[in-house]
Amino acid sequence: MSLKDIIAPFSVWKRALEKPYTNRKPIETRPGADRYRGFHQNAIDQCIGCGTCEEICQNNAIDLVPLEGKTSSHGDSGLRPKIDYGRCCWCALCVDICPTGSLGMSNEYIWITTDPEDFRFIPGGETKPWDDRAEGYRRAEGYDLLEAERVEMPMLSFEESQKSFIEMVQGYSKEQAMEEADRCVACGICIATCPAHMDVPAYIEAIRNDDMGEGLKIVYNANPLPASCGRVCSHACEYVCAMKHKGEAISIRWLKRYIIDQIYLGDYKEILKSADESNGKKIAVIGSGPGGLSAAYYLRLLGYEITVFDANEKAGGMLRYGIPEYRLPYEQVEKDVEYIRQLGVTINQDLKIGVDRDFKTLYDEYDAIFFSTGLKDPYGLEIAGEDLPGVQSGLDILDEVTKGKTPDIGKSVVVVGGGNVAMDAARTSRRYGAEVTILYRRREVDMPADEEEIHESQGEGCKLVTQAIPLRVEKGDSTRLKLFFGMAEMVDQGEGQRPKPVLIEGSEEVIECDTVITAIGQEADYSFIPEEIGKNLVFNRGMVQINEFRQTGDSKIFAGGDIANRKRDAISAIADGHSAAKGIDIYLTNFKDK
């Protein structure tokens, strides 16, 4: 035995005078570890109430409930998670999956109260001592239960795309669609934002289940033009997608397109609802754009006899005559139209109301009228020289191309405008070999065109000049025209107002070109409505005034689409057609002829 072994037992006596290690009040003073999973915290303003936390909770410990002071808005359900700590197992899956990262857990785990209801509360919505505590559990950097990036869409390269009108977006394969569908957390935030309120989570689930028939049924419940909409929808749903808070939004538009692309038109009748037996009542629809076709479809399902009147050679309205084939192939428009026609809707083409047929005759012969004639008359630039040969509207160029004509645009083109028509006219001009410059009077961030349209137009070689105001057009020397423009500065207009472009004196520049294409907006033409009927309709700043069912000041006449809806996109027009169909059905069902 060593000396150390003999002395060691006595060495502990030195601790007799030290402060004891025992914690006399362990419940009050023992803090959790820095990453302990204690009571929840939630950044209320960062949370969007998507319910992903509720969905993943294995113990049903989370409910989404209204919170006083929070209202629903685009991208925010207005609801917030309420935690039941009688059920919570503190697993933190809710924190790990939260798309916005608003949800976390403090390291506080001690709380004594005699009221069991206190253990059910809304983190962040009800003040707690641990609300501002930095310690606790957060999703670790780089650790994700969800795939943030969307499955890349196969597309033609810019070099290839500008050579032809072949569809640029190639579409998902089955594997790609299912992988992209797997990213959806089924929160449903998108449903409220979609003008047609399509049940997006349900049809994405159908893709996950590889059940295209079910997907088609779900899509058609709210949208009878899905082949077209799956390609050119303005996809407001994607701008509010919960997944956008942690990466890229779900490719909702492309997934809808995937469903439609998998099913042959000939199989539609076996899958979708059939029309009711005829109820003997007749409806006239003027215009075969998305609004008119949507109204025709839903009214036909209800048993009405529908006749559509359209001034163009083929149906589809702006879907066919305002969007180039590289974005929306005509065969896809025809697929949508043909199914509506197969249901028994009669579509009269090349027949202009007010010219070939009198509006009053329709008014007398039909039980109700829905008109959705769109905005066809382009605004002028209101500058000197815009009546010179070589100045054309974007709609005219796109219309010519749709009809198979080659537009006479020359080798150099200037497009004035920042919307989708401007982008389409510019990209179409590139496909005819022209050098293209786009002038827009505001900043790029202010452009109303879809983001991808702006990006793709530049990728295909269109030059974008922003804060540029056209001044006048003159005959050119070496080219047909010269467009003079000045640069603008953006002047603040106060809170809530868009900055206004103001011309900078002495900033004048000139572009020599063969064609100036104007695309700064359009207005409606109501000249087909006779005065005796038109006096009962109310117009405000060029738009028809309607009620929630798209009924005008004349109870027998309904309207929708761009002439009555400032959103001015296809899905809004489709939603209008659906609402009008309900309105007409209510009107005729309740209407008692004297």
Please say if the pLDDT value at position 464 is more than 90: yes
Please say if the pLDDT value at position 27 is more than 90: no
Is residue 2 very low, low, confident or very high in pLDDT (cuts 50, 70, 90)?
confident
DSSP per-residue letters across 499-520: PEEEEPTT--EEEEESEEEE-S
The reply to whether 514 and 422 lie within a common domain is yes
Instruction: Assess if residue 215 is contained within a domain.
Output: yes
DSSP per-residue letters across 412-437: EEEEE--SHHHHHHHHHHHHTT-EEE
Per the model's pLDDT, the better-predicted residue between 32 and 90 turns out to be: 90
Q: Which CATH number is 435's domain given?
A: 3.50.50.60
Instruction: Assess if residue 443 is contained within a domain.
Output: yes
CA separation for the pair 366, 358 (Å, rounded) = 13
Contacts of 134 (CB under 8 A, 6+ apart): none
pLDDT digits (tens, 9 = 90+) for 338-366: 999 999 999 999 999 999 999 999 999 99
The predicted pLDDT at position 17 comes to 72
Please say if the pLDDT value at position 69 is more than 90: no
Residue range 470-478: mean pLDDT, rounded: 95
pLDDT digits (tens, 9 = 90+) for 535-594: 999 999 899 999 999 999 999 999 999 999 988 899 999 999 999 999 999 999 976 554
Measured over the CA atoms of residue 447, residue 448, residue 451 and residue 452, the dihedral's sign is negative
pLDDT digits (tens, 9 = 90+) for 420-461: 999 999 999 999 999 999 999 999 999 999 999 999 999 999
Is residue 21 very low, low, confident or very high in pLDDT (cuts 50, 70, 90)?
low
The predicted pLDDT at position 591 comes to 67
Q: Which of 235, 270, 305 is the last residue of a domain?
A: 270
Contact of 281 with 556, CB cutoff 8 Å: no
Instruction: Assess if residue 9 is contained within a domain.
Output: no
The predicted pLDDT at position 594 comes to 44
- CB burial of 86-104 (b: ≥16 within 10 Å; e: otherwise) equals eebeeebebbbbbbbebbb
Q: Which of 250, 270, 290 is the last residue of a domain?
A: 270
CA separation for the pair 107, 365 (Å, rounded) = 74
The reply to whether 384 and 372 lie within a common domain is no
Please say if the pLDDT value at position 5 is more than 70: yes
The reply to whether 125 and 187 lie within a common domain is no
Q: Tokens 């009008």, residue?
A: 580
Q: Which amino acid is present at 531?
A: E
Q: Which CATH number is 114's domain given?
A: 3.30.70.3270
Instruction: Assess if residue 495 is contained within a domain.
Output: yes
Instruction: Assess if residue 530 is contained within a domain.
Output: no
* Range of weakest confidence among 107-111, 323-327, 525-529: 107-111
The reply to whether 415 and 509 lie within a common domain is yes
Instruction: Assess if residue 147 is contained within a domain.
Output: no
Residue range 310-316: mean pLDDT, rounded: 96
Is residue 180 very low, low, confident or very high in pLDDT (cuts 50, 70, 90)?
very high
Residues of the domain holding 299 = 275-377+537-589
Q: Which of 228, 252, 270 is the last residue of a domain?
A: 270
Q: Pairing mode, if any, of strands 539-540 and 543-544?
A: antiparallel
The reply to whether 410 and 426 lie within a common domain is yes
CA separation for the pair 99, 51 (Å, rounded) = 10
pLDDT digits (tens, 9 = 90+) for 189-240: 999 999 999 999 999 999 999 999 999 999 999 999 999 999 999 899 999 9
Instruction: Assess if residue 145 is contained within a domain.
Output: no
The reply to whether 510 and 409 lie within a common domain is yes
Instruction: Assess if residue 4 is contained within a domain.
Output: no
The reply to whether 260 and 281 lie within a common domain is no
Residue range 482-494: mean pLDDT, rounded: 94
CA separation for the pair 382, 119 (Å, rounded) = 67
The predicted pLDDT at position 551 comes to 97
The predicted pLDDT at position 251 comes to 97
Contacts of 5 (CB under 8 A, 6+ apart): none
CA R_g for the chain: 31
Q: Residues 265, 269, 274, 278: what is their CA dihedral angle, to the nearest 10 degrees?
A: 70
Please tell me the total number of residues recorded for the chain in this structure. 594
The reply to whether 71 and 125 lie within a common domain is yes
Please say if the pLDDT value at position 512 is more than 80: yes
The reply to whether 557 and 483 lie within a common domain is no
% of the chain with per-residue pLDDT over 70: 97
The reply to whether 56 and 132 lie within a common domain is yes
CA separation for the pair 286, 577 (Å, rounded) = 12
Q: Which CATH number is 208's domain given?
A: 1.10.1060.10
pLDDT digits (tens, 9 = 90+) for 362-417: 999 999 999 999 998 999 999 999 999 999 999 999 999 999 999 999 999 999 99
Q: Which of 138, 140, 136, 139 is nearest to 39 (CA)?
A: 136
The reply to whether 386 and 370 lie within a common domain is no
Task: Tell me how many domains the chain contains.
Answer: 4
Average pLDDT, the chain: 93
The reply to whether 355 and 423 lie within a common domain is no
Alpha-carbon distances, residue 580 vs 333, 455, 501, 546, 570 (angstroms): 22, 36, 39, 10, 15
Q: Full-prediction pTM beyond 0.75?
A: yes
